[in-house]
Chains A and B, each alone.
Chain A
Amino acid sequence: MTRYARPLTVTFLSASTLAYEILLVRVFAIEQFHHFAYMAIGIAMLGFGASGTLVALARPQQESAARWFAWAAVLTPVALVASATLVHQVPLDATQLPWDVGQWPRLALVYLLLALPFAVAALAVLLALTLEPERTGWIYGASFLGAGLGAALAVAVLWIVFPVRALAVPALVASLGGMSAVPVAATRKTPLKGCAWGTLLLGAAVFVEPLWRLDITPYKGLPQVEAFPDARRVAERASPLGWVVAVDASAFRHAPGLSLTYTGAFPRQTALFVDAEIAGAVSDWSAEAAARAILDWLPSALPYALGERREVLVIGAGGGLEVWNALAHGAHRVKALELNPELVRLGGWSDSTVVGSPQAVEVEWAIGDARGHVAGSRERFDLITMGGGRAYGTSAAGVHALNEDFLHTQEAYVSYVERLSDEGVLAITRWLTVPPRENVRVILTAVEALRRHAPDAVAHGLVVARSWATGTVLMKPSGFSSQDVERLAAWAEARRFDLDWYPGIDVPATRFNIMDEPVLYRAAAAAVAGSDSAERFAAAYAFDVTVADDARPYPHHFLRVGSLRSFLAGSRGSWLPFAEWGYIALLATLVQSVVLAGLLMLVPAALRARGAGSAGWLRLVGYFTAIGLAYLAAEVAAIQQLNLLLGHPVYAVAAVLTAFLICSGAGSAWSDRQPATRGWIVGAVLVGMLMLCAAQLLALIHLLQPTPLPLRVAVAVAVLAPLAFLMGTPFPLGLRFLASMDTGAVAWAWAANGFSSVVATPLAALIALEAGSQVLFLAAAAAYACAALLHGGFSRLGSPGV
């Protein structure tokens, strides 16, 4: 029984911390903004490495280590509860961080509180490794297994309970870890056992009655609309896709980019929020039938000016505004694709009793990933339309910059265009920012897609229209006739919208919505002139507006690294209009994690002096740093690409992450049977596999996209399993060399690996953003190559006293 106690404890603790990490990201993304969640939790993960530094400095003897192990395991659930409770007591206003130094100590306190459970749990895992040096593969494999199960658990829990309660689940799981540690405790077992039972009760009590509550920043849409005079929350749903809330308020109105010449009525609307940010509205047309006229005064109604669109596909249909638009314009059949089933349900499309009036119309809803659906479909449509969707604020503030979005890549646009009927049109409406960037990228991407689909169509297949707040791009592979252009121009003129581009235009023709520079005209002219001129235009533009593709699926990222110098050179606040918070948070996370990791590694090492700075210490740290960097880089790249293959951003990520970690766990356990000297061979094989992934994986995914899901899953497993299996071996193989050394060497290795994993997370995201997942695979290969080289020298070193 005791043989399995430590691996079991490690499994529970790893599951609890990974689940806590994922759930914390969810809760923070609701309370604050996703980019802040990313930064805060990214830094908190330094707790993993800090446990290594602590053990390296303390170098506990066997008996002490066994005692510490048990207590760390028992205290992990307490730390999880304390962290979640106390962090909600810190009065931090993240929006004031740029100019209020008073917020920085609070941020530091948040980091510390968040880091606490990771540090305590990691301490237990590390001590387990030092206590059983002959079974490092088993112990480390258990950690991988637990992490994999924790990822799956977090996603499953989010289906069952609301995020605020879900945050208590990791403590419950960790308490099981504490209980399983009791049999191997080298201390008086009675108090320990009592404490372990106490933590189980604590976990259960907190699950029933959480000690914290959602504290949503007042700058989000939900608290603001809920503060309106007669606002009433009418429905609430939770799932891993987000926390969806519907609010009725007479002062709420949603009409993105409505024409200034509209003088009619507004429908009564129910606001829909995902993670407290506006995600659309449900309109009650029955109360005032005349209000339906408003639909024809929205910029997204432009394609209907071309004449009847019988078959319409709405991508990202949300609450159904664009579905109603299609129906109001006489569509005979509307197919609506939406990823989040709760939005459809609250929109009244599948459960008419929830919100608003019953939607008694024939609309075919498909719940799931639009990209995968389109790839597997043979249907043809007269119109495929994609609306703005998100709230203006979040769109413009760049908080989605880090989000992968395979719906707005060149390959995606090609797949939509292929599903158009002979006279079909693809319409994409986005918010307009000043200076324009998202609209510019949509134009460049659309024209490149059109060029790939039908090169001859480019000259006559593009129309760009602009309202005071939005830009709409129309693509028609069969080409816009002069009658088409006349109809669009008349429709636009009545609404005071401008046509920035149409076939035959020779000079900018802005009449109603004046901009300093005719940027959209120039972008369209450059794109239509050819790929080279489009590239030159993008290269000269102040923002990154290059065509997004499946290897670099970040269509909402615009900030160039070079622009940051201008920010820093300007006075405080002058960069606000250009701030892309997601990207800035990523860079801030990277800088902070590098600095803090360096301090937590190097300062203690320097203080300790013995061995630190020596060639042996550097090799050891170098090897474990390299494999930490490589693992994260390969994992991020693989998840990104397999996400496209499996076609669902949440389930795919959860499934891939779980499978990845469990396979790595199996690899780690298997490594116990291998000679430690084989580490360099593993490294070399991994280099080859990762280079192959960089070269061929995306092409394979494109080939398989239209195939049935079981086949895609089988291929994903076939690609993933051997890679993840081997990636689980370098760490335990490396540790085995240290078996003959003291606890300090193992602890430094753990610290180096922990810190590098933390640094690697924002670094990998940055590489993916700037260079794409293929380069990320190559970066991982390079890091494994370094590890293989260091492993050779490291193995020859092999003397105690490092």
Chain B
Amino acid sequence: MKLRRAGILLLALHLGSAGCVAAQEREQSASDPNEPQRLAMVRLIRDYGVRDPATLAAMRSVLRHEFVPEGYRRRAYGDHPLPIGYGQTISQPYIVAYMTETLDPEPGMNVLEVGTGSGYQAAVLAEIGCQVYTVEIFEVLATSARQRLERLGYTNVTVRHADGHYGWSEAAPFDVIIVTAAAGYIPPALVEQLKPGGRMVIPVGSVYGVQNLILVEKDASGDVRTHNLLPVRFVPMLKGLR
């Protein structure tokens, strides 16, 4: 009898909690009309093969439309890059999610991002709980990203207007480095500032063409290896190679 009563109590609590979550979702949905689009975007990313719960949760939480110029907000949740000025883009959501999953960031990790852009990637990493240091060479972009991230409440992101070639020695070493503006070479300072056991990911190439993703891993002895990553969603195209 006691057990049954306890069960009813648990069920009531559960229902109450579920009701509370649903109410929260409704509240959030009411306050953010973009949420359905964002959830659809995350479903798409998951369908393409990104499985890491932390990455998906972060992609669900970050308000991507806030990182997109006014004129493009309508298309903020489409799976494609969008211009943010100075020839820079906010990467397509899948690429952001894929790179984040590849880096396998954990709460509390020290992360360096080279190429802040709009600040979206930094927000995703911050949402996971990382301490993010991000460097942007274009001052206007650095300033606007800093203001945007502050406005959205990301206190664990520090933005600096600087040349990413030198990394961020005061905050080094980093567990994870993400370079979003590679130019055919990887700055030696970044390799140096990567912790033994750390991971760095670099998309090389044209944002409207090939995104050749490269993962650099530093082992415990400090030796580096690279992996040419093949985005999983493109595998069906490559039957001839397999």
Residue contact A577 to B92, C-beta cutoff 8 Å: no
A727 at the interface (CB under 8 A from B): no
B184 touches which of A391, A434, A515 (Cβ 8 Å): A391
Chain B contacts for A394, CB-based, 8 A: 206
A320 at the interface (CB under 8 A from B): no
B158 at the interface (CB under 8 A from A): no
Proximity string of chain A (559-580) to chain B, C-beta cutoff 8 Å, 1 when within and 0 when not: 0000100100011111111110
B228 touches which of A254, A431, A515 (Cβ 8 Å): A515
Chain A contacts for B209, CB-based, 8 A: 393, 396-399, 576-577, 579, 581
B225 touches which of A219, A392, A496 (Cβ 8 Å): A496
Chain A contacts for B231, CB-based, 8 A: 577
Closest chain B CB from A267 CB (angstroms): 13
Cα of A398 to Cα of B86 in the assembled complex, Å:
23
Closest chain B CB from A575 CB (angstroms): 8
Given contact pairs A433-B212, A514-B228, A397 touches B239 in the complex (Cβ within 8 A): no
What residue in chain B is nearest A393 (Cβ atoms)? B206
Residue contact A540 to B230, C-beta cutoff 8 Å: no
Closest chain A CB from B125 CB (angstroms): 23
> Count of A-B contacts with CB under 8 A?
179
Cα of A223 to Cα of B224 in the assembled complex, Å:
34
The interface centre, meaning the residue of B78, B87, B184, B230 with most chain A CB atoms within 10 A of its CB, is B184
Given contact pairs A223-B87, A397-B205, A541-B240, A260 touches B226 in the complex (Cβ within 8 A): yes
Residue contact A542 to B238, C-beta cutoff 8 Å: yes
Cα of A391 to Cα of B183 in the assembled complex, Å:
9
Identify which of residues 202-242 in chain B touch chain A, using a CB-to-CB cut-off of 8 Å: 204-214, 216, 223-231, 233-234, 236-242
Residue contact B186 to A218, C-beta cutoff 8 Å: no
Report the interface size class on chain B. Answer: 35 or more
Residue contact B225 to A435, C-beta cutoff 8 Å: no
B43 at the interface (CB under 8 A from A): no
Cα of A220 to Cα of B240 in the assembled complex, Å:
33
The interface centre, meaning the residue of B185, B204, B227 with most chain A CB atoms within 10 A of its CB, is B185
Residue contact B226 to A517, C-beta cutoff 8 Å: no
What residue in chain A is nearest B190 (Cβ atoms)? A260
B79 at the interface (CB under 8 A from A): yes
What residue in chain A is nearest B163 (Cβ atoms)? A251
B139 at the interface (CB under 8 A from A): yes
B79 touches which of A100, A519, A572, A581 (Cβ 8 Å): A572
Cα of A566 to Cα of B213 in the assembled complex, Å:
21
Chain B contacts for A266, CB-based, 8 A: 165
SS of A interface (majority)? loop
Residue contact B165 to A253, C-beta cutoff 8 Å: yes
Chain B contacts for A541, CB-based, 8 A: 240-241
Residue contact A516 to B228, C-beta cutoff 8 Å: yes
B7 at the interface (CB under 8 A from A): no
A670 at the interface (CB under 8 A from B): no
The interface centre, meaning the residue of A95, A98, A572 with most chain B CB atoms within 10 A of its CB, is A95
Cα of A262 to Cα of B190 in the assembled complex, Å:
11
Residue contact A219 to B207, C-beta cutoff 8 Å: yes
B154 at the interface (CB under 8 A from A): no
Given contact pairs A513-B225, A542-B239, A574-B234, A396 touches B79 in the complex (Cβ within 8 A): no
A218 touches which of B83, B94, B165 (Cβ 8 Å): B83
Cα of A261 to Cα of B209 in the assembled complex, Å:
28
A52 at the interface (CB under 8 A from B): no
Chain A contacts for B225, CB-based, 8 A: 496, 511-514
B80 at the interface (CB under 8 A from A): yes
Given contact pairs A432-B212, A577-B234, A519 touches B87 in the complex (Cβ within 8 A): no
Given contact pairs A435-B238, A572-B78, A574-B233, A224 touches B87 in the complex (Cβ within 8 A): yes
Cα of A577 to Cα of B48 in the assembled complex, Å:
14
Chain A contacts for B138, CB-based, 8 A: 227
Residue contact B79 to A397, C-beta cutoff 8 Å: no
Cα of A478 to Cα of B187 in the assembled complex, Å:
38
Q: Which A positions have Cβ atoms within 8 angstroms of B? A: 93, 95-96, 98-100, 217-220, 223-224, 227-229, 250-251, 253-258, 260-264, 266, 391-394, 396-399, 431-435, 468-469, 496, 511-517, 519, 540-542, 563, 566, 570-579, 581
**24 residue pairs from A and B, CB less than 8 Å apart:** A95-B83, A218-B87, A224-B86, A224-B87, A253-B183, A253-B185, A254-B183, A397-B209, A397-B210, A434-B229, A435-B238, A496-B225, A511-B225, A512-B225, A516-B228, A541-B240, A542-B240, A542-B241, A566-B237, A570-B237, A573-B94, A575-B237, A577-B209, A578-B210
Q: Across chains A and B, which 3 residue pairs bring their CB atoms closest together, nearest first? A: A397-B209, A218-B87, A393-B206
Since A220-B87, A541-B240, A571-B44 are in contact, a sample of 18 more A-B pairs with Cβ atoms closer than 8 Å, ordered by chain A residue number, is A224-B86, A227-B86, A227-B87, A263-B192, A396-B210, A399-B209, A433-B210, A433-B212, A468-B228, A514-B227, A517-B241, A542-B237, A542-B239, A566-B236, A572-B80, A575-B237, A576-B210, A577-B210
